[in-house]
Structure 1
């Protein structure tokens, strides 16, 4: 999916919501445990209920890898289900890969060729040759970690060099030598608030993947105030606040209602473009 197609979906659905499929078998409704594949059954129900209100899904690979082969099969079935039934959805593998070049090339082959995903989160710490193998695929996206929402982000990302440049700013500037706003996005946590203003000074036209609204307490209004650009430029993720909003047999209905609530808030923000 290219940038224009993504923006067209945002306008059509009046939404820039990404639903995070952080599916934990210990948290899904107990009645699903009798299913042959409980994780896929949960994901399928969540997708069917929320698809009208979102433009993207983001499975977090850790939740699938933790179950070994069964988890990978559930992940693969989830991707196949999305590609077949909801081809307009932008699918992000939240895998945070990043290794030496030939290893990164294998990761790229896995997620972009074998799994047919649209985007992959990538860690920039090892530099250019660990990132560029992901950038050789047409209409596929690298989503580079820039400024995350976790407490430990202060340990490295906000440290400054002798010129006063913060590390996340160096990542933003340097990485633009490798990719552009047609194939690279950045992860910026919703809890960073007004820091979006600083980020937009460096990457005014790139899309930002924004986790941290909902259960983590980030403000959608603040993110939009400082982070939105002329093509929206935001994909805002919510996971737990939507998918685990209810633990009864009505879990999917409630998830759909929660997604619709967020979509309505986003529609208001998009009218400001």
Structure 2
């Protein structure tokens, strides 16, 4: 999906919501365990309930590859079920040198036809640039995450006065641009969002942490939105596990709609639509 296509979908849906498909057999509604393929059935019902309110889906690859060959089959069928106008992110967090990165890129961009993949940039340029050899595909670099362990490295000050994540952002601008690079930025640190946006004003940011993790959508918008929206805000647990009864899909749709309506107001407020 191109940048223009993504922006058009945001304007059409009046939303910048990404629904995370972190589908865990242990957290599925009990009645689905009686079906032939519980996770696939769960994903299909979640997609059907939320597709009118989101612009992207983000399967967390670990939840699928942990099941072995069957998990990869479920992942493939899930992707095929997602409408073609949605931006599909492989939340794989890969990060390895050139030849290996090429194979990861081939796996997720060609074999499974994802639009984007999350990548850890800490092995440098030759671990990232192999993903750029595919038309209309995106790399989403881990930039400034909000997990507690992020403090171990990402926010350390370097001798030049910059924090490590700032150096990563600056360096990555030499590898790609706003048409093929996005950045993962946690929702719980408004001050960090400001710093990120100052360095990469035009790139899209994938922002997890709104909802169950305590991030504020208002703060994310205030510190991260640009004239093209420039945001994909992910919600996983707050939507897909909002209810564990036979109404789980209906409730998931309601939660997605609530976020979409809030997002529509922000898009109007910031003159994106």
TM-score bracket for this pair, using the shorter chain length: over 0.9
Map of 1:106 onto structure 2: 103
Does structure 2 conserve the Cα–Cα contact (< 8 Å) formed by 1:227 and 1:233? yes
Residues 204-240 of structure 1, C-alpha deviation per residue, up to 9 Å, x if partnerless? 0000000000110000000000100000000000000
CA distance in 1, matches of 2:233, 2:165: 19
Map of 1:65 onto structure 2: 65
CA distance in 1, matches of 2:106, 2:159: 39
CA distance in 2, matches of 1:257, 1:80: 24
Map of 2:265 onto structure 1: 268
Does structure 2 conserve the Cα–Cα contact (< 8 Å) formed by 1:194 and 1:222? no
Map of 1:95 onto structure 2: 92
Secondary structure of the equivalent of 2:179?
Answer: coil
Residues 63-102 of structure 1, C-alpha deviation per residue, up to 9 Å, x if partnerless? 11121122111111101111xxx11100000000010100
Secondary structure of the equivalent of 1:152?
Answer: helix
Map of 2:33 onto structure 1: 33
Map of 1:51 onto structure 2: 51
Map of 1:211 onto structure 2: 208
Does 1:18 pair with 2:15? no
Name the Cα RMSD after superposition. Answer: 0.6
CA distance in 2, matches of 1:71, 1:106: 19
Q: Which aligned pairs between 1:217-256 and structure 2 lie closer than 5 A?
A: 217-256=214-253
CA distance in 2, matches of 1:222, 1:183: 25
Does structure 1 conserve the Cα–Cα contact (< 8 Å) formed by 2:56 and 2:87? yes
> TM-score, normalized by length of structure 2?
0.98
Does structure 2 conserve the Cα–Cα contact (< 8 Å) formed by 1:97 and 1:122? yes
Residues 229-252 of structure 1, C-alpha deviation per residue, up to 9 Å, x if partnerless? 000000000000000001011100
> TM-score, normalized by length of structure 1?
0.98
Does structure 2 conserve the Cα–Cα contact (< 8 Å) formed by 1:211 and 1:238? yes
Deviating 4+ runs (over 6 angstroms): none
Secondary structure of the equivalent of 1:36?
Answer: coil
Residues 12-52 of structure 1, C-alpha deviation per residue, up to 9 Å, x if partnerless? 11100000000000000111111111110000000000000
For these two proteins, the number of residue pairs brought into alignment is 270
CA distance in 2, matches of 1:225, 1:233: 12
Does 1:125 pair with 2:118? no
